[in-house]
Amino acid sequence: MAERVLMKGNEAIAEAAIRAGCRHYFGYPITPQTEIAAYMAKKMPKIGGVFLQAESEIASINMVYGAAAAGMRVMTSSSSPGISLKGEGLSYIAGSDVPAFVVNVQRGGPGLGGIQPSQSDYFQATKGGGHGDYRMIVLAPASVQEMASLTVKGFNLADKYLMTAMILADGTIGQMMEPITFEDVEVETYDKPWALTGTKMQRKHNIVNSLYLKPDELERKNFERYERYKTVEENEVMVEEYMMEDAEVCVVAFGIASRVAKNAVVQARKEGVKVGLIRPITLWPFPKKVLRQAAERVKSFVCVELNMGQMIEDVRLAIECSRPVSLCNRTGGMIPDPDQVLASIREAQKGVN
Amino acid sequence: MKTTQILIAGFGGQGILFAGKFLAYKGLLEDLQVSWLPSYGPEMRGGTANCNVILSDDPVGSPIITSPDVLIVMNLPSLQKYVDTVVPGGQIYVDSTLISEKVERTDVKVYYIPATQMANDAGVPTLANMVMMGHVLKNNPELTFDGTEATVQKLVPPAKAQLVELNMKALQAGRDYQ
């Protein structure tokens, strides 16, 4: 077995990215994700890679766009306000169908907000952020081990589907240390015949572009892109179900909130409450089918989020409002303690009886 | 199945996070499940610092500690802030050089260690944190003092190998304090 090492979540992302073949990092520092940049600054020059601290977030995402167009495995990382600045670039990357890997270690918002952990960029990550019809694959790690494994997964998926894969983490998972191993790194490689690598006078020019002035052409591009997105929705959903077999109450939570929720589920089970947890690992594609199937068995849902209630909308849509869904939340950098979640579970259970 | 939740708190610069790392690595080398969560942000830039360490036989749930089994405090504001959060039957370690106040609770075990003074006397004035850790190990047999040097070696970069000996000196002083 590979050695267990203690690492911060942010460092795990950086190390996993390097192992996944990423040799280009462009970023701009912001708490609570700066360890990613620091790790890259230290490692990249030693392995022939590029670490570049750009003059701004906007510059860095456009450098990602450029390197991605050249067929490189490339990434950037930031935290909430920084990701807002990258929104335009993310849209261009989507419109050009090139693969990119982006990390958002969220902090409290809106505006400059605070620097403590938050999940309030759920809408931004899953519904757009930039302009236009597009999607990003959004991965929500709940442990340092998953920070690493989902990073590798993210690079693979980005290359496979020619789109952006985003890690949506938060300050807690970014800053905490847990033991991890790197034995499960499986790097997939994909041919990139579309990449701008120089024609060597042997082929026609490749063009990477997001400008389509003819509406019928742009419409066709969008239709094609959404066909690809449909494949992603069919094949790439990841979800963890915990104690759901006989559950009457279902807690839905992702990332750090799911860790707190799990403690509460264990506690509630001790009290005899039949409760389970569904943890979406991919926030897009959202595990609609698993939730819809759960709604046939459970009587009530509790959504635990570090925001004012964002994922709860997707939960309600997935189950077509067939069951009551309540919200248990803290925001602004606060984290609910297991007792608050436990109280929400008890409340939901009352509705069941 | 045992889970120990440890909260370490003090001023920035006292090595609070380092002490937490020490316990986390100690747990790692003993094949426990561990999590280490630091405070980050404004408090790291000169104010209070704290660190949550969980050592467990089972996978760690939430890494955030609300009711510690073990509280280690190295300044008065931290003692006042966290004293009531410790579970009944828990342990509180107080650096009595820096905190003259006594704990009024009677349902917890309290250890007063003049760690800052002891570190000064031992010629390792910056290692009061590790004096405290030595005493924590002494009173938590499941962590044992064995393997402490290997743990310290993990923490200290090879270029600063001379620090291993100094850390061990502080840890031993804490362990031997009666």
CB contact under 8 A, B37 and A6: no
Six-digit token string for A333: 């950098």
> Which value, to the nearest 10 degrees, does the dihedral of the CA atoms of residues A50, A51, A52, A57 take?
120
Please give the pLDDT value at position B1: 64
B36 contacts chain A (CB < 8 A): yes
Distance CA B67, CA B90 (A): 10
B-contacting residues in A 29-88 (Cβ below 8 Å)? 31-32
* Residues in Cβ contact with A66 at an 8 Å cutoff, skipping those fewer than 6 apart: none
Distance CA A328, CA A304 (A): 5
If you measure CA to CA, which chain A residue comes closest to B25? A6
Distance CA A168, CA A158 (A): 15
Q: How far is A283 from chain B (nearest CA, A)?
A: 20
Q: How far is B50 from chain A (nearest CA, A)?
A: 12
Is residue A140 exposed (0-12), middle (13-18) or buried (19+ Cβ within 10 Å)? buried
Domain limits of chain A? Answer: 5-235, 239-352
B56 contacts chain A (CB < 8 A): no
CB contact under 8 A, A260 and B37: no
Query: What CATH number belongs to A5-235?
Result: 3.40.50.970
Q: How many domains would you assign to chain B?
A: 1
Q: Sign of the C-alpha dihedral, residues A145, A150, A152, A153?
A: positive
Closest of A86, A68, A100 to residue A206, by C-alpha: A68
Is residue A217 exposed (0-12), middle (13-18) or buried (19+ Cβ within 10 Å)? exposed
If you measure CA to CA, which chain A residue comes closest to B35? A178
Size of interface A-B (CB pairs under 8 A): 61
CB nearest to A31's CB, from B35, B40, B66: B40
Please give the pLDDT value at position B44: 59
Please give the pLDDT value at position B43: 60
Count of helices and strands (H, E) across chain A: 12, 14
Q: How far is B132 from chain A (nearest CA, A)?
A: 22
Query: What CATH number belongs to A239-352?
Result: 3.40.50.920
- Chain B residues with CB-CB distance to A6 below 8 A: 21, 24-25, 28, 34, 36
Whichever domain contains B25, its CATH number is 3.40.920.10
If you measure CA to CA, which chain B residue comes closest to A267? B61
pLDDT-based confidence at B45, cuts 50/70/90?
A: low
Instruction: Give the Cβ contact number of residue A320 at 10 Å.
Output: 11
Strand partners, A169: A105
Q: How far is A171 from chain B (nearest CA, A)?
A: 9
Its domain, for residue B154, covers 3-176
B106 contacts chain A (CB < 8 A): no
Phi and psi torsions of A228, nearest 5°: -65, -45
Q: Choose from A176, A181, A270 for mutation: most chain B CBs within 10 A.
A: A176
DSSP letters spanning A22-54: --EEEE---TTSHHHHHHHHHHGGGGT-EEEE-
Please give the pLDDT value at position B141: 81
B41 contacts chain A (CB < 8 A): yes
Average pLDDT over residues B84-100: 97
Are B63 and B83 in contact by the 8 Å Cβ rule? The answer is no
B93 contacts chain A (CB < 8 A): no
Is residue A1 exposed (0-12), middle (13-18) or buried (19+ Cβ within 10 Å)? exposed
- Per-residue pLDDT tens for B106-165? 999 999 999 999 999 999 999 999 999 999 999 998 788 888 999 999 999 888 989 999
CB contact under 8 A, B38 and A175: yes
Closest of A79, A19, A72, A74 to residue A43, by C-alpha: A19
Are B103 and B95 in contact by the 8 Å Cβ rule? The answer is no
Phi and psi torsions of A43, nearest 5°: -90, -40
User: What is the predicted ipTM?
Assistant: 0.93
Q: Sign of the C-alpha dihedral, residues B120, B123, B129, B134?
A: negative
The predicted model scores a pTM of 0.95
A5-235 and A239-352, same CATH topology: yes
B87 contacts chain A (CB < 8 A): no
Q: How far is A260 from chain B (nearest CA, A)?
A: 5
- Chain B residues with CB-CB distance to A171 below 8 A: 40
Averaged over successive runs of 10 residues, the pLDDT of chain A (353 residues) comes to 88 97 97 96 98 98 98 98 98 98 97 95 95 97 97 98 98 96 85 96 95 98 98 98 98 97 96 97 98 97 98 98 97 93 95 66
Secondary structure letter of residue B43 according to DSSP: G
Instruction: Give the Cβ contact number of residue A5 at 10 Å.
Output: 17
